[in-house]
């Protein structure tokens, strides 16, 4: 069975599709796997898969006769930004790593996604399956730590001190696994919010497991910001009894934490790590030494304040000789790399993308009941996920430096532009119908 590419295509329920359009499935796998399994794939494998996905997406979306370049909108801005920063790095003579090559490719794919919303269901199904692999590994390695040492640690991360066990799972660092668990939690929570009947129970159960996996990673920022992103979505989408819903959500999260802390030692360790750093009152301890990284970013920015030192040029050498290529604050890193000009453009694009997600969700709520269930899920996910990425990257993490982060982020922007295109088309059809009726 081939999925229809008609813009009015309606999905009636929220369940993982059994029969996929094979082109969309292959494209989804080729785009998502290099991001979600970046740490265990070879450099050449990541490049081959991403380029193949790029070619598949072009074949998928440029075949549409109704493809309207005017509807790409803010996607043009991200594509232009990607081309500019990559060109600056290339002219500066710096080596192009996988992250630098992936950024413009994913920006282009995000633009192509505007042509249809029919890919959302396949993308969601593929993403849930791939994220669940990480979730399963995290839970299994928690129960059987020796299995981790005998397989993943020995095979992929033998010399990597940051790959410690179930906390890092199938990734090289527990920050990466924390991001994956947070993404899975937000995605399945959005599917649960828009599902009905028995299917909703399955999504709620899976969202709870992703939340457990998130707590086990011991990542404080991911946990706090993940809860904040879902709380924002819960408030925005609540129609009636909003105060009651928010209170019930807060009580439910608190109760779940208390029970998990008492019954699951791994969650208790995460809670102790969170409370101990807050009680210390030491800013350097709370930020895990990130203040030193921020100071280095500011120092480098002052040397070239307007256009920066080149994208991806940030490097901080710790006293022990270890290096960090992330400032753990996207604004400061962008100032260091691209100066005031590049940072201003980035902020305009990030804020504009988030505003588009908010606008889409409001319009989808007004037209509730039309049956566009997966588009509503996409609108919810884009809002919550972009909010999570922005507050995380602008305080303790990074956004545009890691394919693990910017690939799903730019795909969420693609979801927003695709939904906006469909909304515009529906309004055009309604307007034409009104003109015909009164003619």
**pTM, to two decimals:** 0.85
For residue range 39-49, list pLDDT tens digits in order. 999 888 999 99
* 101, burial (CB in 10 Å: exposed 0-12, middle 13-18, buried 19+): middle
> Using an 8 Å Cβ cutoff, are 338 and 85 in contact?
yes
Distance CA 273, CA 289 (A): 15
pLDDT of the residue at 9: 36
Model confidence at 405: pLDDT above 80: yes
In a 3-state reduction of DSSP, which class is residue 279?
A: helix
For residue range 346-380, list pLDDT tens digits in order. 999 999 999 999 999 888 877 654 445 788 899 99
Distance CA 339, CA 334 (A): 7
Model confidence at 247: pLDDT above 70: no
pLDDT of the residue at 260: 60
pLDDT of the residue at 281: 47
* 323, burial (CB in 10 Å: exposed 0-12, middle 13-18, buried 19+): exposed
> Using an 8 Å Cβ cutoff, are 160 and 30 in contact?
no
Q: Is 11 or 34 the better-scoring residue by pLDDT?
A: 34
For residue range 187-245, list pLDDT tens digits in order. 999 998 888 878 888 898 899 899 989 988 888 888 889 989 988 887 787 655 555 55
* 139, burial (CB in 10 Å: exposed 0-12, middle 13-18, buried 19+): middle
* 167, burial (CB in 10 Å: exposed 0-12, middle 13-18, buried 19+): buried
Q: Give the model's confidence band at 16: pLDDT under 50 very low, under 70 low, under 90 confident, else very high.
A: very low
Q: Give the model's confidence band at 328: pLDDT under 50 very low, under 70 low, under 90 confident, else very high.
A: confident
pLDDT of the residue at 271: 56
DSSP string, 357-405: HHHHHHHHHHTTTSS-HHHHHHHHHHHHHHHHHHHHHTTTS-SSS-HHH
Distance CA 83, CA 105 (A): 10
Q: For 287-310, what is the mean pLDDT?
A: 85
pLDDT of the residue at 184: 96
* 200, burial (CB in 10 Å: exposed 0-12, middle 13-18, buried 19+): middle
Distance CA 82, CA 409 (A): 14
């Amino acid at each position: 069975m081939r999925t229809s590419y008609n813009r009015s295509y309606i999905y009636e329920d929220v369940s993982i599709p059994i029969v996929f359009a094979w082109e969309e499935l292959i494209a989804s796998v080729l785009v998502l796997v290099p991001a979600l399994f970046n740490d265990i794939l070879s450099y050449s494998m990541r490049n081959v898969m991403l380029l193949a996905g790029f070619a598949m997406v072009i074949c998928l979306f440029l075949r549409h006769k109704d493809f309207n370049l005017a509807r790409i909108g803010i996607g043009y801005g991200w594509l232009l930004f990607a081309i500019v920063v990559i060109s600056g790095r290339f002219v500066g003579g710096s080596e192009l790593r996988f992250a630098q090559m992936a950024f413009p490719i994913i920006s282009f794919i995000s633009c192509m996604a505007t042509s249809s919303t029919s890919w959302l269901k396949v993308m969601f199904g593929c993403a849930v399956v791939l994220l669940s692999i990480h979730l399963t590994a995290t839970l299994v390695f928690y129960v059987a730590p020796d299995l981790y040492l005998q397989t993943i640690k020995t095979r992929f991360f033998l010399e990597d001190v940051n790959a410690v066990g179930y906390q890092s799972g199938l990734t090289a660092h527990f920050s990466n696994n924390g991001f994956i668990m947070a993404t899975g939690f937000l995605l399945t929570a959005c599917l649960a919010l828009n599902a009905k009947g028995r299917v909703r129970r399955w999504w709620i159960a899976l969202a709870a497991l992703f939340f457990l996996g998130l707590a086990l990673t011991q990542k404080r920022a991911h946990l706090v910001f993940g809860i904040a992103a879902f709380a924002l979505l819960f408030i925005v989408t609540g129609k009636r009894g909003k105060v009651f819903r928010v209170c019930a959500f807060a009580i439910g999260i608190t109760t779940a934490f208390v029970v998990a802390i008492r019954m699951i030692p791994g969650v208790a360790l995460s809670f102790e790590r969170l409370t101990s750093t807050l009680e210390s009152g030491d800013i350097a301890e709370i930020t895990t030494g990130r203040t030193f990284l921020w100071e280095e970013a500011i120092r480098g920015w002052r040397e070239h304040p307007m256009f920066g030192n080149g994208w991806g040029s940030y490097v901080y050498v710790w006293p022990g000789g270890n290096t960090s290529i992330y400032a753990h604050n996207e604004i400061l890193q962008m100032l260091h790399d691209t100066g005031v000009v590049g940072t201003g453009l980035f902020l305009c694009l990030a804020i504009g993308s988030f505003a588009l997600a908010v606008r889409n969700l409001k319009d989808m709520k007004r037209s509730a009941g039309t049956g566009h269930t997966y588009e509503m899920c996409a609108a919810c996910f884009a809002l919550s996920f972009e909010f999570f990425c922005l507050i995380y990257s602008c305080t303790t993490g990074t956004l545009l430096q890691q394919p693990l982060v910017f690939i799903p982020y730019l795909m969420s922007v693609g979801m927003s532009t695709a939904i906006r295109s469909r909304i515009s088309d529906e309004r055009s059809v309604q307007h034409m119908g009104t003109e015909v009726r009164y003619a």
